[in-house]
Chain A
């Protein structure tokens, strides 16, 4: 639940609307309920779309936590390497 919260908290800082898509499902990126129900486990491909005045910054910030910081959690590959 924490990664979803981090994502929602970040998305909520922006004016723009944020839509997250997985396969054919689109949800509101500012809703913890919808985001957590998307059940995006590690390795899932997500599409992030933002619309509004600060859309570019929003997408950049969200990409940052999902792709670069990876929610501050190790991926399964990293975990196995550590072990």
Chain B
């Protein structure tokens, strides 16, 4: 009799423990349930984004709410955005402000929020440089009770630049006490689709592997630029070329042009292996400019040693284009 009583007692204790365990697991989390974000906006317009967030607590605490966005640096989001939120426990829109540069993230080993997010969350699969995380804190701190479920709606308004681009946006929510120290204290959300800005100028495609890139993405004729060719992205007529050459035409401010296209020691690309090639040029010298001449852009192809097989944008016959400008 006593043996069966003990068995029942232990079963009862285990049930309590299991229930508590489930309660703990379910009760401590912050989740971005969904986002409302358009597929595209026109250059210079406002990108409106809504994050629908659920916060479950297992203990009372007082924190500032944190929201971070992964965006192109060209948008200068720190200066061109407004972020606010509403929630079950607040009245009216609550303002948020950019976290000042250099402010250490909580439990981040001294790293600021942008660096911590880039290190721990990543860049959302964007294939070019020129992206950044921008983080915001709520202006006020808020006290939440234990075992509470709170719904938060975050409103983000970003004025995008005029650049023509494709980008994978990302979002993170968290607080100013726990940082990214544990998965229960933050949540990251990537839309997965490629957001489009219908703007002006060369398309800056962060989403799709590119046959060719130029770094820095923005520069002037007096900078050293690095032109890359990746023959592994897609099959082209240069697949079997043992050596790749740069065939470029500089467009001057007076509308004239200078072409440097003969396959020789000046135009030969350096092999990086795996069908990747690279060349560093100083445009002013490369195109032999006089003091009075200035470049606005250059167009280019890649060729084989004969110069007859040419690969342009998308592996086709249209030239790649690079416009000189600063960010």
- Do A and B form a real pair? no
- B residues engaging A (CB < 8 A)? none
